[in-house]
Structure 1
Amino acid sequence: MIESIWGLFELLAVVWVIYDVVTQNKRLSGAMKVVWILVAVIFNIFGAAAYYFLGRK
């Protein structure tokens, strides 16, 4: 049960990063958008946290 909740949380974090990078963060170049999306997909929660603290301004 706890694994499925954690998996859902990871999925939501990745979806949030993808949504934010594509629609909200206009200052990023196309290449940086791809990099942040890959970081989020590969590192899940840690990638989303890195984007939140380092990529969003």
Structure 2
Amino acid sequence: MAMVLAFVGIVWLLGILSLIAVIWVIYDIVTKQKRMPDTEKLIWILVALFLNIIGAIIYYLVVKASGKYEEAPEERFEGLDNPIEI
């Protein structure tokens, strides 16, 4: 009985980790990958949904490690030099 409970606990833990990995990938794609084409965003979201943790690892190694789609820090504050006057 204890082995069954341990197995169920491990399955629950892996399920929660998979859900967190998918949510992280989708959040990162939507909020941080501003220069990524929309079709590529859709492909990465589908990869994350279908491959779960493996998809998140692939996404991290291919996209996040290169950083080619993220905007540079100076691009984020580009329009703040000229404040809007009311």
Question: Shared fold (TM-score greater than 0.5)?
Answer: yes
Q: Which of the residues 40, 49, 52 maps onto 2:48?
A: 40
Aligned identity (percent) is 46
Alignment gaps of 5+ in structure 2: 1-8, 68-86
**Structure (1/2) with the larger helix percentage:** 1
TM-score (norm: length of structure 2): 0.64
Alignment gaps of 5+ in structure 1: none
Ranges of 4+ aligned residues in structure 1 off by more than 6 Å? none
The higher radius of gyration belongs to: 2
TM-score (norm: length of structure 1): 0.95
- Larger RCO (CA within 8 A; separation ≥ 6): 1
Aligned residues: 57
How large is the Cα RMSD of the aligned pairs? Answer: 0.6
